[in-house]
Structure 1
Amino acid sequence: MSIAVVYYSGYGHTKRVAENVALGAGADLIAIDDKGDITESDWQRLSEAKGIILGAPTYMGSVPWQFKKFADATSKVWFTRGWQDKIFAGFSNSASLNGDKQVSLQYLQTLASQHGGIWVSLGLLPANTLAATREDINNLGGSVGLLVQSPSDASADNIATGDLETAVKFGERVAFITGRFN
């Protein structure tokens, strides 16, 4: 069973999240470059994958243009229904705790649905008690997909461990669900 994490990362934060998601899922990483492109061999890997995890930072309330260019390029696959019934999931990262990441997740979920995909939610209860900290699993309270916060003045090494551990668990969930369907 193969799973691919296809993502765009402008400053390295989303790449770090993608690496943790891939670790949990046992997935291949496919980076969208700064021109919004992936290689022909990457397209082939996506074609062969049983599951696709989509990842992008949230810029100005949505995914960046590089990810949108990739998404538009998937119309060739859409036309042939090449990703019909694949397992899909998604994640987004932004500098703010909320940062309109939900809009980006809805964009990713809609893209997956247009392809006839089956969406996997985060599947984790939120850490929403008075004692909860940023080091807890799902401390941002996501449900549709994985939410991650990276302070704008911090390197990718400063992402909260709770977010990174949630990323690994999310990858594990996607792998589990993909295995059940295949």
Structure 2
Amino acid sequence: MSKTVVVYFSGYGHTQRVAQAVAEGAGAQLIAVDGEGNVPDSAWDDLAAADAIIFGAPTYMGSVPWQFKKFADASSKAWFTRAWQDKVFGGFTVSASLNGDKQVTLINLQTLASQHGGIWVSLGLMPSNTLNASRNDVNNLGGSVGLLVQAPSDAGAEAIPDGDIDTAKRYGARVTEVAKRLKG
């Protein structure tokens, strides 16, 4: 049995919906970063006990929002003691645009995982990039480093395309499966 935790910040509910889908696929615990950039004190113990950690954040102005950055900066205590060394990591991001510089956010999350000595898991899915592809296909945005999700800016989280939600579930399952395999 492998323990996976999804830690995320959601400003408008879109990232929360994706976090829930990732957690469903991973069989993971959810930890929300609040509007002040904090997690409950018990969350640090949960993260330390996890075999896999999946980061989630919206892309705001080409990067993670300050609330997630505050959480990342607070993780320096875990960094200093190498508490997350050799854990399996993954990450996802959501923005209103199809591109929206989401790749920059994923690289930010991947760098955070690497600073902690973690092992990053790619999306591992072929892109849906044919003429007949639609937004309801798996990996329609063509991610590889991690999960990319598009949510229309003028709609709630329910408007996230089914293909992105299905991709989120598959990615959560992949991260947990890699953690299980590495745990032995």
TM-score range, shorter chain: over 0.9
SS in 2 for 1:172: helix
Deviations along 1:72-107, one digit per CA (max 9) or x if unpaired, are 000011001010000000000000000000000000
Report whether the alignment pairs 1:76 with 2:62. no
Secondary structure of 2:152's counterpart equals: coil
Amino acid across the alignment from 2:127: P
1-structure distance, mates of 2:161, 2:107: 24
TM normalised by structure 1 equals: 1.00
Matches within 5 A, 1:1-182: 1-182=2-183
State, as a whole percentage, how many aligned pairs show the same letter. 67
Deviations 1:146-181 (A, max 9, x none): 000000001001100000000000011011101001
Q: Secondary structure at the match of 2:45?
A: helix
Question: Residues of 2 paired with 1:152 and 1:164: CA distance?
Answer: 17
Alignment root-mean-square deviation, CA: 0.4
Q: Which amino acid aligns with 1:54?
A: F
Shift of 1:40: 1.0
Structure 1, residues 31-62: CA drift from partner, whole Å, max 9, x if none?
00000000111111001000000000000000
Residue 102 of structure 1 aligns to a residue whose secondary structure is: helix
State how far apart, in whole Å, the 2-side matches of 1:179 and 1:134 are. Answer: 31
Q: Flag structure 2 segments of 5+ consecutive residues without an equivalent.
A: none
Unaligned runs of 5+ in 1: none
Q: TM-score, structure 2 length as denominator? A: 0.98
CA drift at 1:14: 0.1
Number of residues of Structure 1 aligned to a counterpart in Structure 2: 182
- Partner SS for 2:114: helix
